[in-house]
């Protein structure tokens, strides 16, 4: 159907509906016909004169203020459309959600025509006021629509063609309409497409504006939060540009906020151009170290990155900045790098021990290096911790490293640390060495006699210069560490034989402590044994464990190759065998295979001594089986033996078990 026929048929149907209330649905669109029906029910006069302006200037100003965001967002697009339709006889209209006209743009001659119909800001184009029109139908149906000629309810509007599209908020709420209105003779099918594009553009700009406002709000909140925390924080975007730097970070780096915000991250750390490619990072990123030049000199920092993700994409990162020493102190606290023993915890009254304690107390108050010599189990670490806790470094870390417990190829990395990627298998973020961890405190190197010669020279240099260079790195790090070394061999003899560097020996042994073995402290054995049993009772929750006089004499006559550590193990086994009773010799001798008789006792010949030990073992096995009601498995567990070993020894002693093993 061409335009003329359409206009004519619509006009005829309008007259028929107004006169009779009937309409041909094949000639009038359903949405238009339904609107006519509503207008008829409402009693709206289709031939009414021009409609009054609904709002005065004051009320219109209030409505405009309520819709200020919509108007500000739509204004650029309305001006663009005005330019696009200039000279075409169309006006551009913006309404709010109820149909009140907020603004009108267009050529003067068509604006004058609109004013004749009071189609001006403040008027209402709601259906219940103006009858069927494009604006009201777009609001009701929430979709774009174009009405031409007699499709309008009011006869005064039959000279108009109007294309209207609803505008929605980012959340989908109806905000108003954008409308192009002109004379019917200028109706064009592209008009509707123009208002649809404008409405969609306004919606998109509203979404961008809301996103920008949310981001601004987040930035303000983030700046407020970052400004209130004591930790140094830097935030960067996906391009590595600094978006925020809080006062604590400015103070740490000695910069002003304006010197950092909006600048690439490497601007803060010129020695690390690789930071330009910091993103993308993995979700769980290791800490890494950086240096920064400050007026007071070079500073070392540790950065812990926290990646910000949107889905799978990194949108930026939060960088927690801490000075290296502060970071290491935190690591030490979490790792339990502290000394717990004091000189008061050393049990003994022998003159040889007391002399070493007094010498250690004097040396502890100095910053001198100390070498502790003694057999395994004589308490070398106990002395080292006591020295640390008696020194001016007691508030610093105490880091212990047993040189015999680390493979040769890993020892250098353990002591000096390494940079990420320094060797195959190295951690991505590198590792702090024990010398760095002990900065400000004490490093205890136990069994230093097991340290390789080539590593000894590197340790000597670090002690002389007070600096550490990690493996794979070229930047020295200054450390302040007191080294206490210990050895279970004659280190002087090893140095003379070329098995230990002499210069390192003399560097370490400014003060040398020689801890006496337990066999040379027989007067202390009973005292130490009771102390250990008291601790064992506290740990197991048992009543105070006691030793019989004969058991004490047996302990005093034993050579103790494992010293106090061996004594502790034998007493714990004896307590298990005694099962809450007084510990007797038969409860101890099972583990004391080379036990010597008490000093007052007559020495036994080898054969008789072997028979005596056999009798003790026989009594222990019988006692264990009887105490377990014949359960061989339980008896074996009590004796610390496997079931097969217990069966073999039962056969050796001719023991026939009467109860089946369970």
Domain spans of the chain, in order of start = 3-210, 229-322, 336-514, 521-652
Structure tokens at 91: 């006006």
The string of pLDDT tens digits covering residues 253-267 is 988 888 888 899 988
pLDDT of residue 148: 93
CATH number of the 336-514 domain: 3.40.50.300
Helices of type H across 306-446: 324-335, 351-364, 380-389, 408-416, 434-437
> 288 to each of 314, 403, 436, how far by Cα in Å?
19, 27, 15
> pLDDT confidence of 164, banded at 50, 70, 90?
very high
CATH class, domain 521-652, is: mainly alpha
The CATH homologous superfamily for domain 229-322 is PAS domain (3.30.450.20)
CB 50 within 8 A of CB 118: yes
> 193 to each of 103, 117, 199, 591, how far by Cα in Å?
21, 26, 10, 99
pLDDT of residue 137: 97
CB 213 within 8 A of CB 170: no
Backbone angles phi, psi at 434, to 5 degrees: -65, -30
When the pLDDT of each residue in the chain is averaged and rounded to a whole number, the result is 85
HSE-CB of 393 using CA atoms within 13 angstroms: 29
CA pair distance 401, 383, nearest whole angstrom: 15
The CATH homologous superfamily for domain 3-210 is GAF domain (3.30.450.40)
* Coil, strand or helix at 646: helix
pLDDT of residue 331: 59
Q: Do domains 3-210 and 521-652 have the same CATH topology?
A: no
Task: Say yes or no to pLDDT of 413 above 50.
Answer: yes
pLDDT of residue 608: 39
User: Cα–Cα–Cα angle for 406, 408, 410, nearest 5°?
Assistant: 65
**pTM of the shown model:** 0.53
CA pair distance 536, 285, nearest whole angstrom: 44
Provide mean pLDDT across the span 200-205: 94
> pLDDT confidence of 279, banded at 50, 70, 90?
confident
The string of pLDDT tens digits covering residues 22-37 is 999 889 999 999 999 9
CA pair distance 292, 56, nearest whole angstrom: 66
The string of pLDDT tens digits covering residues 428-455 is 556 788 998 888 899 999 999 999 999 9
Question: How many Cβ atoms are within 10 Å of 302's Cβ, its own excluded?
Answer: 21
CB 577 within 8 A of CB 590: yes
Which strand ranges, in their side-by-side order, compose the sheet holding 90-96? 101-106, 90-96, 174-183, 160-168, 145-148
CB 99 within 8 A of CB 164: no
pLDDT of residue 211: 84
> Between 331 and 289, whose confidence is greater?
289
Task: Say yes or no to pLDDT of 188 above 90.
Answer: no
The string of pLDDT tens digits covering residues 617-658 is 676 677 778 777 788 877 777 665 667 777 777 877 777 654
pLDDT of residue 336: 53
> pLDDT confidence of 330, banded at 50, 70, 90?
low
- Name, of 207-216, 274-283, 649-658, the range with top average pLDDT: 207-216
Structure tokens at 285: 């990123």
CB 73 within 8 A of CB 202: yes
User: Which residues, at least 6 apart from 349, have a Cβ–Cβ distance to it below 8 Å?
Assistant: 523, 524, 527
Strands 417-418 and 431-432: antiparallel
Task: Say yes or no to pLDDT of 607 above 50.
Answer: no
Nearest to residue 236, comparing CAs of 283, 277, 271, 286?
A: 277
- End-to-end, the C-alpha distance of the chain in Å comes to 104
pLDDT of residue 440: 87
CA pair distance 487, 408, nearest whole angstrom: 17
- Name, of 25-39, 299-313, 567-581, the range with top average pLDDT: 25-39
């Amino acid at each position: 159907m061409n335009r003329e026929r359409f206009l004519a048929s619509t006009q005829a149907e309008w007259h028929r509906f107004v006169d009779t209330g009937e309409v041909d649905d094949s000639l009038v669109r359903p949405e238009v016909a339904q609107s006519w029906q509503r207008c008829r029910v409402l009693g709206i006069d289709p031939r009414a004169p021009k409609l009054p302006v609904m709002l005065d200037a004051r009320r219109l100003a209030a409505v405009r203020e309520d819709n200020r965001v919509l108007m500000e967002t739509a204004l650029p697009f309305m001006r663009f459309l005005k330019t696009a339709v200039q000279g075409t006889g169309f006006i551009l209209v913006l309404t709010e959600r109820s149909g009140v006209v907020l603004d009108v743009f267009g050529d003067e001659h068509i604006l004058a025509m609109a004013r004749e119909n009071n189609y001006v800001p403040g008027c209402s184009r709601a259906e219940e006021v103006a009858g069927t029109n494009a604006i009201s139908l777009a609001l009701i149906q929430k979709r774009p629509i174009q009405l031409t000629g007699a499709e309008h309810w009011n006869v005064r509007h039959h000279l108009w063609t109007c294309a209207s599209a609803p505008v929605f908020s980012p959340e989908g709420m109806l905000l108003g309409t954008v409308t192009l209105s002109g004379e019917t003779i200028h109706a064009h099918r592209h008009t509707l497409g123009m208002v649809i594009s404008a409405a969609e553009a306004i919606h998109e700009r509203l979404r961008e504006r809301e996103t920008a406002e949310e981001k601004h709000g987040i930035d303000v909140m983030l700046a407020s939060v970052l400004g209130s925390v004591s930790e140094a924080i830097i935030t960067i975007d996906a391009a590595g540009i600094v978006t925020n730097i809080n006062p604590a970070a400015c103070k740490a780096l000695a910069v002003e906020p304006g010197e950092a915000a909006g600048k690439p991250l490497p601007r803060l750390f010129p020695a690390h151009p690789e930071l330009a490619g910091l993103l993308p990072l993995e979700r769980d990123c290791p800490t890494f170290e950086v240096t920064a030049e400050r007026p007071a000199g070079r500073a070392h920092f540790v950065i812990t990155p926290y990646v910000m993700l949107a889905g799978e994409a990194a949108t930026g990162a939060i960088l927690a900045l801490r000075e290296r020493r502060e970071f290491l102190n935190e690591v030490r606290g979490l790792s339990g790098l502290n000394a717990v023993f004091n000189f008061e915890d050393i049990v003994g009254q022998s003159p040889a021990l007391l002399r070493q304690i007094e010498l250690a107390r004097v040396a502890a108050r100095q910053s001198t290096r100390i070498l502790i010599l003694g057999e395994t189990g004589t308490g070398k670490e106990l002395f080292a911790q006591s020295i640390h806790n008696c020194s001016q470094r007691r508030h610093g870390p105490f880091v212990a490293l047993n040189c015999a417990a680390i493979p040769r190829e890993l020892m250098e990395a353990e002591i000096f640390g390494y940079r990420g990627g320094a060797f195959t298998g190295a951690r991505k973020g590198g590792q702090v060495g024990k010398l760095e961890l002990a900065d400000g405190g004490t490093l205890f190197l136990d069994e230093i006699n097991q340290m390789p010669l080539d590593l000894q020279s590197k340790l000597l240099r670090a002690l002389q210069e007070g600096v550490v260079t990690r493996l794979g790195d070229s930047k020295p790090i200054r450390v302040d560490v007191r080294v206490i070394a210990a050895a279970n061999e004659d280190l002087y003899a090893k140095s003379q034989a070329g098995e230990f560097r002499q210069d390192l020996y003399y560097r370490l042994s400014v003060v040398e402590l020689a801890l006496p073995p337990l066999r040379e402290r027989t007067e202390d054995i009973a005292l130490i044994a009771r102390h250990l049993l008291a601790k064992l009772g506290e740990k197991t929750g048992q009543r105070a464990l006691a030793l019989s006089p004969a058991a004490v004499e047996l302990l005093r006559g034993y050579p103790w190759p494992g010293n106090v550590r061996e004594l502790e193990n034998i007493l714990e086994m004896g307590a298990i065998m005694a099962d809450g009773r007084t510990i007797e010799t038969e409860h101890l001798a099972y583990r004391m295979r080379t036990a010597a008789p008490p000093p007052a006792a007559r020495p036994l010949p080898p054969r008789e001594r072997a028979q005596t030990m056999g009798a003790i073992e026989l009594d222990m096995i019988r006692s264990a089986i009887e105490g377990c009601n014949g359960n061989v498995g339980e008896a074996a567990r009590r004796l610390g033996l496997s079931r097969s070993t217990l069966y073999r020894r039962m056969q050796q002693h001719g023991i026939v078990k009467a109860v089946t093993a369970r």
